[in-house]
Structure 1
Amino acid sequence: MNGRRASARGSALLAAVSTVAVLGSVPASAQTEGRIDTTAGKSGYTAHLGGTSTETNLFALDLEGGNSIRAYCVQISVAVDPERFLHESPWDEFPDAESPFHENRDRISWVLHHGYPSVGLDALADTLTGQGTELHDGLSEKEAITGTQAAVWHFSDGHDLDRDDPGSGDDAADADVLALYDHLTGDANVGIGEQPTPALEITPATASGSAGERIGPFTVATTGEITEITGELPDGVTLTDADGAELAAEDLADGSEVYLDVPRGTGAGQAEFALSATGQLDTGRLFVSEDYTKDPAQSLIVATSEETTLDASAGADWTAAPTTPPEESTTPTSSPAPTTQPSAPETTETTSVTPQANSGDLAQTGVSVLVPILVGLALLTGGATLVVLQRRRRST
Structure 2
Amino acid sequence: MASALPASAEVHVKPKGEWDQGGVDVFLEGKGDKLDTSLIGLQIDNTQTKVQSYCVELPTSLKDGHGLKEVAWDKHPNPTTKFKENADKISWILQHTYPLIKAEALGKEVGKDVSEEEAIGATQAAIWHYSDGANLDKGKVKNADVVAVYDYLTGSKNEGVKEQPTPTLTIEPADKTGKTGDLIGPFTVTTTAGEVVLKADLPSGVTLADKDGNTLSSPKEGTLAVKDAGVKAKEFFVKVPEGTPDGKASFSVEANAELTQGRLFVSSNDKLQTQSLIVAFPAKVDLKATGTASWAKGEAPSTPPSTTTEETTPSTTESAPSSTEATPTTTTQPVPAGGSSGETGGLASTGASIFVPLIIGIVLVGGGAGALLVMRRRKSTPQ
The TM-score bracket by the shorter chain reads 0.5 to 0.7
Matched, 1:152 2:134: no
Matched, 1:127 2:94: no
**1:278 and 1:310 in contact (8 A); partners too:** no
SS where residue 223 of structure 1 aligns? strand
Matched, 1:104 2:54: no
Separation in 1, partners of 2:82, 2:167:
23
SS where residue 39 of structure 1 aligns? helix
The residue aligned with 2:35 is 54
**2:265 and 2:277 in contact (8 A); partners too:** yes
Separation in 2, partners of 1:180, 1:204:
44
Matched, 1:29 2:1: no
SS where residue 44 of structure 1 aligns? strand
The residue aligned with 1:298 is 275
Which TM-score applies when normalising by structure 1? 0.58
Which residue, 259, 271, 280 being the options, matches 1:281?
A: 259
Which residue, 68, 71, 81 being the options, matches 2:63?
A: 81
List aligned pairs for 1:162-241, cutoff 5 A. 162-166=137-141, 174-193=143-162, 194-201=164-171, 203=173, 205=175, 216-224=183-191, 227-231=196-200, 238-241=207-210
How has the CA–CA distance of structure 1 residues 263 and 121 changed in structure 2, closer, same or farther, with 3 Å as cutoff? farther
Separation in 1, partners of 2:256, 2:131:
31
The one-letter code matched in structure 2 to 1:59 is I
The residue aligned with 2:19 is 40
**2:58 and 2:132 in contact (8 A); partners too:** yes
**CA shift for structure 1 position 71:** 1.1
Separation in 2, partners of 1:183, 1:144:
11
Separation in 2, partners of 1:238, 1:108:
45
**1:151 and 1:185 in contact (8 A); partners too:** yes
SS where residue 77 of structure 2 aligns? coil
How has the CA–CA distance of structure 1 residues 65 and 113 changed in structure 2, closer, same or farther, with 3 Å as cutoff? farther
Separation in 2, partners of 1:272, 1:93:
29
How has the CA–CA distance of structure 1 residues 269 and 38 changed in structure 2, closer, same or farther, with 3 Å as cutoff? same
Separation in 1, partners of 2:167, 2:66:
22
**2:40 and 2:54 in contact (8 A); partners too:** yes
SS where residue 13 of structure 2 aligns? strand
Which residue, 257, 260, 275 being the options, matches 2:236?
A: 257
Gaps of at least 5 residues in structure 2 are 226-232, 297-320, 325-383
Separation in 1, partners of 2:128, 2:118:
16
Q: Greater strand share, 1 or 2?
A: 2
Which residue, 42, 45, 51 being the options, matches 1:69?
A: 51
CA RMSD of aligned residues (A): 3.8
SS where residue 88 of structure 1 aligns? strand
**1:217 and 1:259 in contact (8 A); partners too:** yes
- C-alpha distance after superposition, 1:67-124 (max 9, x if no partner): 4321111223222122422233333333333333344332222212211112223432
**CA shift for structure 1 position 43:** 0.9
Separation in 2, partners of 1:177, 1:315:
55
List aligned pairs for 1:309-324, cutoff 5 A. 309-314=287-292
**CA shift for structure 1 position 177:** 2.0
- C-alpha distance after superposition, 1:216-259 (max 9, x if no partner): 33322243257233346678764332342425596666462323
**2:94 and 2:100 in contact (8 A); partners too:** yes
Which TM-score applies when normalising by structure 2? 0.60
List aligned pairs for 1:324-363, cutoff 5 A. none
- C-alpha distance after superposition, 1:134-188 (max 9, x if no partner): 42xxx32212211111111222233332334426xxxxxx332222112111111
The residue aligned with 1:143 is 118
Amino-acid identity (%)? 31
Separation in 2, partners of 1:184, 1:198:
27
**1:101 and 1:155 in contact (8 A); partners too:** yes
**1:31 and 1:63 in contact (8 A); partners too:** no
Separation in 2, partners of 1:200, 1:160:
38
The one-letter code matched in structure 2 to 1:283 is Q
How has the CA–CA distance of structure 1 residues 121 and 93 changed in structure 2, closer, same or farther, with 3 Å as cutoff? same
Bigger CA drift: 298-307 or 253-262?
Answer: 253-262
Separation in 1, partners of 2:177, 2:76:
39
How has the CA–CA distance of structure 1 residues 63 and 28 changed in structure 2, closer, same or farther, with 3 Å as cutoff? farther
Count of paired positions: 281
How has the CA–CA distance of structure 1 residues 141 and 311 changed in structure 2, closer, same or farther, with 3 Å as cutoff? same
Separation in 2, partners of 1:106, 1:209:
43
**CA shift for structure 1 position 209:** 6.8
Gaps of at least 5 residues in structure 1 are 1-23, 168-173, 323-396
SS where residue 17 of structure 2 aligns? strand
How has the CA–CA distance of structure 1 residues 191 and 83 changed in structure 2, closer, same or farther, with 3 Å as cutoff? same
